[in-house]
Each structure stands twice: as structure tokens, then as C-alpha cells.
Amino acid sequence: MKKLFSEIPYIRGSRIVLKKLTEADADALRELVSSDNVYRYLPTFLFERRYDDVGYVIERLYDECLKESIILGVFMNGTFCGLAEFYVFRDEFHKISVGYRLLERFWGMGIATETLSLMINYLYKETDTEIITASTMVENTASANVLRKNGFDLVVQGSSEDWGFEQPSTVDKWIR
């Protein structure tokens, strides 16, 4: 079994690949991070939005960020679709949280569902992970459906959390 965070995974599915971002992905990443519609249901402090220069984000992603999370690009047929993230790693509990965000033009195509399935399979088959969690804003019903399709159970409904907005966000907590 691999230790999570001991390497940057390359995860291949039937039509989706999750892999390390490179400089070649800068334009697509810029499109993603500039979309307020994509980020309306996500915390304001995500790593890829901390800096204005996405080239700098990609340069720092696998040194600065790797201590806390692993962010991979989501690609379909070689085309960048979004990001997949493993975060809030708790080695002593064999626990990790997961998240994903896609460019709007790829919504509704089953990519998030397949991406999450690949993440789950990797975590349970390749690492010593035993617990996977996720959080969604209550309004984000599409993401809640993706979690349900992948066997997550809603364990806390309507919790108040600081996601960096002016007011606390109302979120649901999921576990698998």
C-alpha cells in the first residue's frame, strides 16, 4: 500500500485521466479559476485561487500545496476539464476529504461522477485510506447527486462553516 502524499498519482479510467498539471494547462486553469459560476459553491480560499498568476500556481502546486492536498487535473481525451483534490489528510485515522470542480462546458456529462469514482478506487485500492469525506453547500444539489451515485452517505445536514464568504456557509457533510 502506498502512503497518500508519498507520490503524485496518475489515475486512468475508461475516458478520464487524473494527473499532475503542467505549464501547458495554464490557459485552461485560468479559464476555470476565473469562472465565478464554477466557484459559487466552493470555499474562497482554494489553492488555485490564492494567486493571480496561474503559472505560479502550477509551479507551486506540487511543493507548497502537497503538504496539505494533492490537486490533479481532470482530462477527457487529453482535454483539461477541471480539478480533482485530495485534502485534509489525517494519517492517524486513515481519513481524507475529496473535492472536484469542472469547467462549465463539461457539466452534465458524467465527468464528476467518473472522476470521483476513480478517486475512490485509487484511495481504497492503492492507499491505506479507510474513510473518505466530502462537504457540499446545501444549494449544490448536482454535487450532492455525484456523491450519492458514488456511495456517500449524508451524515450532517445544514452545518454552519466558514468558507471565506461574508456570512458562514451552510454545508452538508458526507462520508463513504
| Predicted confidence (pLDDT) per residue in 1-60, tens digit | 777 777 899 999 999 999 999 999 999 999 999 999 999 988 888 889 888 899 999 988
- Using CA atoms of 70, 27, 74, 165 in order, give the dihedral in degrees to the nearest 10: 60
Q: Is residue 5 assigned to a domain?
A: no
pLDDT at position 44 is: 84
Can you tell me the mean pLDDT for 58-81? 87
Number of domains in the chain: 1
Query: Which of the four pLDDT bands, split at 50, 70 and 90, describes residue 65?
Result: low
Residue 118: all three cell numbers together: 476513480
Type of residue found at 65: C
Range of the domain at 32: 11-135
The residue among 15, 8, 4, 1 whose CA lies nearest residue 117 is 15
Whether pTM > 0.75 for this model: the answer is yes
Query: Which of the four pLDDT bands, split at 50, 70 and 90, describes residue 64?
Result: low
Q: Is residue 169 assigned to a domain?
A: no
66 pLDDT higher than 80: no
The residue among 61, 176, 157, 43 whose CA lies nearest residue 119 is 176
Burial of 157 (0-12, 13-18, 19+ CB in 10 A): exposed
Residue 148: all three cell numbers together: 450519492
> What 3-state DSSP class applies to 18?
strand
pLDDT at position 24 is: 95
Q: Is residue 27 assigned to a domain?
A: yes
Q: Is residue 154 assigned to a domain?
A: no
CATH code where residue 40 lies: 3.40.630.30
Q: Is residue 161 assigned to a domain?
A: no
Residue 33: all three cell numbers together: 479559476
Q: Is residue 6 assigned to a domain?
A: no
Q: Is residue 176 assigned to a domain?
A: no
Residue 17: all three cell numbers together: 485521466
pLDDT at position 129 is: 93
Average pLDDT across the chain, whole number: 92
pLDDT at position 67 is: 65
pLDDT at position 69 is: 84
Type of residue found at 8: I
Q: Is residue 164 assigned to a domain?
A: no
Burial of 115 (0-12, 13-18, 19+ CB in 10 A): buried
- Identify whether the C-beta of residue 105 lies closer than 8 Å to the C-beta of residue 74: no
